[in-house]
Structure 1
């Protein structure tokens, strides 16, 4: 998954979480309002509460009901009372109950209590309480039926014949105290006379009379006089109660809204810090990384304890950086490339300095010889014979040839050190390749005093080599065996396989051999003969170049030697295939 898709997935899940949180906040808002209404309404009128409201506020211990203090306060404020009765009619709890109520109810008494009409001075509300581990109980809440009390107080004061209210001072006082009202209504619904806060005037329709009893804003009672066909309606104005309830709900809504705003603000702050950590910190870290690269510091950023910022203790990418793992992988490759390039530049600079130093050192001796002989030939003090001039010219040509060879070797080793040598590999039959090389040495009259033997692998064996540069390797090794050993030395070249994967090429002789110091330093530059006065000493770079060329071909070379016994060079190369066809059954002397 690329970085674009990971960002899409990340933002999708994050926005989904935000939506879910917002949804739950809205639910919480309405839940708080609903809970407030559920708790506010009973505090103003307990008769409208549900049974579960009381189940949390009434506990039974040792067969005795205990009322919550808040429940007692609400009952006292509403001038009501409570009674808790078991299935057998026993009263196990009461609060502010009238004295005339019994402590034990019979079935008939319970029926009379629960089935009595509303037109009594006391209004009853009943709930069945079901508490876990206990038998169901009956909760009774009673309070004065104020509209019925007002009706009984007003009824004697009505002048039925005059069709008017002639209320006594006591009735007027009671109506005012209870926030009540009274109306005298004719047979056709017309309001003839009225008193109280409720300013209803005009005429009642049948629909209004039917809905009056169901109106939660009003508690009413009525009496009809059959003789005059007039009706008295009394009631209590519950608008104040409703207004108080609405105020409570409004305050709860405001508080809920403020809480949600505070939660949203807190969520915004936490979200801001989270996003800054999730997206900002990794970006700042990578910016620091890029700045380090620009400053030449080719390493990943580290903390104060010099520990990597991007990895944990197990070496794995930390969670907050995984979103950018493609970018981090690219920066890692860039860092490694720049570090490698810097290393190569330093290596090239060092090699260049060594090349210049070696060149100036190695050219000084032959140039001194050439300059000396040229000055001698130019001098008028002496008269040189033709033979002497010819000798001087030969020495100058020899030194010039040596200088050319030295320059070529220095250039070659410089290119090898900087991986700048072009290699064009081919699949070559090594038996045939080495056989032709040995024939070349055998045909050289200068090597007539040496004995050459070739021991090829019994079959064709192939390797991937550059013919030009691999020829240089074999020529150097055989040439050194010829050059540094006396007449009569036997030189043996052989090829073989190791586990069918590696070609082994051996060049061995039974000549003068080398001591341990020479063997240990043989592949170092300039170890052998930089003094051009020594015949056949070479440039001192041949064996160093040979080792470099073998390594360029993916192989290795080692040497073993013993003084007065001889030397063995062993080259290992990866094979490119072989066959069992026998080309050379026995060792061949060439």
Structure 2
């Protein structure tokens, strides 16, 4: 035992060490791929929106040497590619450094001047972005500007457009500028409906709500178009200027998110490819090192599936997991628990096969008995039918009725045996539909016992019913639950003398379950009969001793009890009597509980 534990510890240590190595390697690969991917995404973000991602990096790259301020050359190249410009302002509002600055920009700003430009309170021909940061004790303001033609159009829009006869007329240089930039103009009324348009594309909207204008102004990337609006208080109309976002070389609008998705997908594919290759190598090694015992166990299971209930052997006839001395081989000791389980399973299957063969023998004997039982009434039916058919004697009407009655009784007995056989197979395959309804069990069983007492066949039998102290409600299929009690009571009557006292009692258990007990003070049964009482092909009394019964009644009763979520037990002693108990635990509900809930 200690040796096995030592092997398991070593095996666990090997696995942990190898998994840690693989984990560290995978973590390194993941971090490397993520670093490269994020670096690429950061560059794409700079290209998409340099103002948000590039300005902090520009400020962090600021350096001063010999009174000259410089920035990262690669970032400055991106500023040039974006068509922008830079100004760096110190705490005294002076421009101390610039890059690609247009001539119309001031070299010094008044305290509120830059703010008015940035908030668009005053017209400004450029889009402005500001980043403020402290560097080495000095507070700097970095201004990034880009050419904003739509803002210039907005300033002169009302002076350059006119609405006549439902058409927009544009004068001055605005018309040429709109045409050059593939822009278009709309005028909408107070309800947001288009009155007229100029160079409007076919897919352009003709109606706007307040939120439409706000969203198109604040998030132009969503609509691939910039929008500026000018309200004309004289007419109550609103003028809209649209400019498409810069197109790429193919003429299609740029979608910055597609490039990011592409980088993400490529990075993920590379990462997954590396992981798959690495795992494949590890799997091959593990398969070579630890797979032999597993393959042996799989082969063993195949043997069991094919009905060969023994461990596979090698060429010399020895079990593959054992050496010649009968001890488990070293490489199989890691899987000792599984090997032991397979040994136990093999032994169990061997025993089950023996039981199956015994069951086949018992079933054949039972079939022979049932055939005998069927042949006896069938012979009577054939005999009386032959007698009635014969012209050798003229039968009286009373004799014909007597023969017919015998034929009917024999036919009914045969039909009953066939029905029992059919029902037991349907129950065994769970093919009997249950139509359960909740009933009060004391009343139901009491009526049934009373009916049996009043039946002429049982009028000499002593059957007593003792109900429970409280009402018991339980969902049952009335037809099949009646069959349970009929089979059990019939068994108690058929196998005991006529004067045997039979008692049916109901009782409520402490845990909320209820019990039905059928007691008789009859002959009782020995232990062997009790053990086989519910077998489908067993009949404790020889067939020639009874004119009724198929040997299936008790098996059917047990299966029907299980279908009602119950459990059946038998206690018997020769010369003392028999007690059969039915216990039902699920879905019970008493009347007092119902009253409380209601």
Same structural fold, with TM-score higher than 0.5 when normalized by the shorter chain: no
Q: Which has the larger radius of gyration?
A: 1
Could you tell me the TM-score, scaled by structure 2's length? 0.41
Higher relative contact order (CA 8 A, sep 6+): 1
Could you tell me the TM-score, scaled by structure 1's length? 0.41
